[in-house]
Structures are given as C-alpha cells and as structure tokens.
Structure 1
Amino acid sequence: MRLIFLGPPGAGKGTQAKLLTERFGIPQLSTGDMLRAAVAEESDVGKRAKAVMDAGQLVSDEIVNEIVSDRIDAPDCANGFILDGYPRTVPQAVALGQMLEGKGLKLDAVIELKVDEAALLRRIENRVAETLAAGGKVRSDDNPESVKKRLVEYREKTAPLSQHYAETGELKTLDGMAPVETVTRQINEILASAAAEA
C-alpha cells in the first residue's frame, strides 16, 4: 500500500496515517525524519545534506529525492509506505513518479484532506485550550497565527500538487473536517477499490 497524504496543517493527516501504519504495518515517512536519519547514518547523501544544512541553506530537491529513494528501498517499506510532507512541489512529484517507475512500483492513491480554514483555526484553538487545561505543553507552531501562515504557504506551494495528481487521475479528495471515523472509513473504501484494480 503506497500512499501520499495531502492537506494543510491540522487537516488530520497524522491521525489517519497512524491508523494506517498500525493496520497495514507500513511506515509513515516524513521528510524531516528521513533527512535526520540520513544525516545520522552518515550515508553519502546524508553527508551532502548535512553540509547544505550546516551552511544554513535549504536541501535541494535532488538530495531530498535521493534520500526518499534510499528510504523506500529499506526492508520495512517492502509492503508499502505513507509519504507525509513529500512531495511538496510538482517537480518533486514528477521525480517521485519516475523514481517509483524505475523500481517497478506505483502509488495506490493520493489522498487529499480538504478543510474549511475558519473551522480548522477554531479546531486548533480548541486543541490548544484542551492541552493547556490538561496541564500539557503546546507545540510552538500550534497557535492560530502560526497556522494562518502555514495555510498561506500550503496554498501557494503545495496546492499545485492537487492539480498535478488530479491530472494524473490519482487524486482522491475527502472532507478532512468530517469525524475521524468517517474519514477513516472513506480512506478504507478508496484503498479497497485501489486493491481491486491492482
């Protein structure tokens, strides 16, 4: 089961990915985790990434694509994986398509969780209030102002991915504001139909 989750911050991608990793025994791959692991392993590409990051620069698509390619060759990805936060741009999506084709693999689905932004901001305000009431610590980026910025960034950078995957016929869009159980059921339906077509 090879999936990509798209959607703005707070859309529920992490919640759904966690349920799927448990159900299918496949890893959730986030760009940040993959980068940190490659640097820690001191692989060739990890060393190149570290040099770029140490210089205070952004890691190039070429390096990120190579790290993703190495990661999906790992044994724990044999039955599939969920990509979260990659691809971020259309060029990365094109590179991913070529990379998978070269490995004789393909995506089962690209699932986008759509949200009502005003409702999403209220959801985050509630989450912050609940966390504080329970005596917990709030993530530094879990505040309405930060989320507004991330939503704008998401619309500008990542939204073209939706268009790309709509054109390739791989995009499935769900209402991310629906109850968790509803979204889970709809994802399971998408995966069942992808499995039937495979």
Structure 2
Amino acid sequence: MRIVLVGPPGAGKGTQAAYLAKNLSIPHISTGDLFRANISQGTELGKQAKAYMDAGDLVPDEVTIGMAEDRLDQSDAAGGFLLDGFPRNVGQAQALDAYLAAHGIRLDGVLDLEVPEDEVVKRIAGRRVCRNDSAHVFHVEYNQPEAAGVCDVCGGELYQRPDDAEDKVRNRLDVYHRETEPIIDYYKQQGLVQTIPALGKVAEVTQRAMDALRREA
C-alpha cells in the first residue's frame, strides 16, 4: 500500500507510522529521516538543506521534494510506503502526485489523525525530557516519574524543552493549520482521506487505522 499520514504536532504520527509500516510490511519514510540521511551522507541535496538550515532559513520545497523522490526510487519502496511528514503543503502534494503518475502508480489512502487542539497542547507542553539522555521522556500527567523532576532511568534532571512551551506549541499548530491542513482538502477531492480519531491507547488507534485501510482496499 502507498499511504500518506497527516496530523497536527502531538497527534502521534511517528508512533503510528512505525506500527502501521510494520503491520503492512512497507518502509516508513519520515521527513526527519530524509534530512538526517542526506546530511549525514553528504549528498548534494543534503548539502543544500544544511546550508539553509545553518542560515536559519526554511529548506525550499524543491530540496525536500528531491529527497523524497530519491527515497521513493529505492527498491524497498517499490511495493509500497508510508509517508510521514511529507507532503507538508499542497505544492509538495502536487509534486508527489506528479511523481506517482510518472511511475504509473497512485496513493491508496491518506490517514488524517484527528486530535483536539487542547489535547495536543496538553500532550506536548506536559513532556519532560532527561538532560542526560533525551530518549528518556516523561509526562506530567500521562507518564509521571517516580520522583518529580527526576529521571527514573538515570536520575538525571527532567526539564521542558523550549520548543515544548505552550506558546511555541500553539505557534506550531498555527503553522500546521496554515500550511499542512489544506492538503487534507486537496486529498479529499480525490476521495483518499480517512479520518482516524487519535485519542486512546496506541494499539486502539493503530487498529482504527488498519480497519480504515482495509475498507479502502
């Protein structure tokens, strides 16, 4: 299957993408992974992206699109893929459609993870990360440490990352509504969108998504 996963920050896209890709035996292709791979490998696109990022500028669509197309050209994506974080706007969605059409294929579905905005803010602003190891993540409500402010794993100090502050989260949501949310309407016009309520346990959300994909098949 060829799937695009959409949803606001804090909707659980990364988590769901990993589970869905495993269940469907297709590669999970995230924008973050594309950037990290191209930069670490020193590709021409990676060098271009790094130059923009080092200057504090947004990476242009054509660079991101180029990375995505190169990744989709790899053999493991021939039988299907799950895109997470790409396309990020209508221009990128149109470029993806053009790429797929040129290869005689099309998307099978677009999964829209739906989470109330207040819940998104609560999820992200409540995160606390260990200063010693950022892989140790807790939450003031959903995953509390045994001792307030102390990492259960290594005893390091837990803190709120600057980007997780409520005002920054709401700004990220504004950007999502302005730039990314329009692709949902774009794909609805193609009859591809399945809206997935993303509240509840991870396994429950995954099952809803799998059920939606079976209906599409």
Relative to the length of structure 1, the TM-score reads 0.86
1:12 paired to 2:24? no
The higher-RCO structure (CA 8 Å, 6+ apart) is 1
What is the alpha-carbon distance in structure 2 between the residues aligned to residue 38 and residue 97 of structure 1?
23
Q: SS of 1:106's equivalent?
A: coil
Q: Which residue of 2 aligns with 1:97?
A: 97
Structure 2 counterpart of 1:194: 216
Over the aligned positions, Cα root-mean-square deviation in angstroms equals 2.3
SS at structure 2 position matched to 1:113: strand
Higher-helix-fraction structure: 1
User: Structure 2 residue aligned with 1:128, among 127, 139, 145?
Assistant: 139
Which residue is 2:132 aligned to?
Answer: none
The residue type paired with residue 74 of structure 2 is A
Query: How far apart are residue 138 of structure 1 and its match?
Result: 5.4
Q: Tell me how far apart the structure 1 counterparts of residues 31 and 160 of structure 2 sit (CA, whole Å).
A: 19
1:53 aligns with 2:53: yes
SS across alignment from 1:186: helix
Partner residue in 2 for 1:149? 171
Consecutive aligned runs of 4 or more in structure 1 exceeding 4 Å deviation: 136-139
Listed one character per residue, the Cα deviations across residues 26-62 of structure 1 (whole Å, up to 9, x for unaligned) are 2222212212212222333333333433444322111
Closer, same or farther in 2 for the Cα pair 1:138/1:193, shift >3 Å?
A: farther
Residue segments in structure 2 that go unaligned for 5+ positions in a row? 128-137, 153-157
CA distance in 1, matches of 2:93, 2:201: 29
Match of 2:198 among 147, 158, 176: 176
**Residues matched between the structures, number:** 195
Summarize the Cα distance change of 1:57–1:146 in structure 2 as closer, same or farther, 3 Å threshold: closer
SS at match of 2:187: helix
- Cα deviation for residue 131 of structure 1 reads 5.0
CA distance in 2, matches of 1:160, 1:166: 10
- Structure 1 residues 145 and 54 mapped into 2: Cα distance closer, same or farther (>3 Å)? closer
Q: What is the rounded CA distance, in whole Å, between the counterparts of 2:165 and 2:54 in structure 1?
A: 29
Match of 2:2 in 1: 2
The gaps in structure 1 that reach 5 residues or longer are: none
Q: 1:76 to 1:139 in 2, by over 3 A?
A: farther
Letter in 1 for 2:139: V
CA offset at residue 158 of structure 1? 1.2
Deviation of 1:132 after TM superposition, in Å, equals 5.6
The higher radius of gyration belongs to: 2
